[in-house]
Amino acid sequence: MDGQILQAIDILKKGGVVAFPTDTVYGLGANAFNDSAVLRIYQAKCRPHHLALPLLLADISQITSVARDVPEIAWQLAECFLPGGLTMVLYKSSSVSTLITGKSNKIAVRVPSHPTPIVLIEGLGVPITGTSANLTGSPSPLTAEEVHNQMENRVDLIIDGVCPGGIASTVIDLTGESPMILREGAISGEDIERACGALIRKG
């Protein structure tokens, strides 16, 4: 395993913060079940605590470890688009701290199609945060240099790599009566409608 990846896993296990490439944009990761590590993400990004942090999973089978009452449409979309650029908003399980969810009862989850975050999650053994590696309100970085320019010494390690997609994930809320796209990104609403056979609202 790459030395930088091994170093990153060690940092995550110790409650540190790591920036890493994904299939969309550079992400900022910490142990999702370590509140002090999650707090460091908010501090590094200058992010208000009422704004939730998405989670990255290594496999769709991990969805039920962080979400409850997962609807059938979520599994349909996961089969079609995950791993990939789709973030699903679901009801959080009791295992997830409200610190991550901005005191909401919902959690946003995604399985990336980039090997680096997958290896980090598997090495750590639990999901990691998957927010973009930028200061809140600034552009999402696509390169390690762009992360460095924004985050400077706010993170413990910036992993070298490439973000092939360059577009943030599409975020869809599946907790209401009908699915609603909160942010259209890497996957179009039309593709989602074709995949699940349901009309999608846009928020």
Q: Which CATH number goes with the domain that contains 175?
A: 3.90.870.10
In this predicted structure, what is the pLDDT of residue 92?
98
pLDDT tens digit sequence for 61-91: 999 999 999 999 999 999 999 999 999 999 9
How many folded domains does the chain comprise?
1
Residue 86 main-chain phi, psi, to 5 deg:
-125, 125
Q: Read out DSSP for 114-159?
A: SHHHHHHHHHHSS-EE-EESS-TTSPPP-SHHHHHHHHGGGSSEE-
Domain that holds residue 135: 3-202
| Mean pLDDT of successive 10-residue stretches along the chain, which has 203 residues | 93 98 97 98 97 98 97 96 98 97 97 98 98 96 96 94 93 94 94 84 79
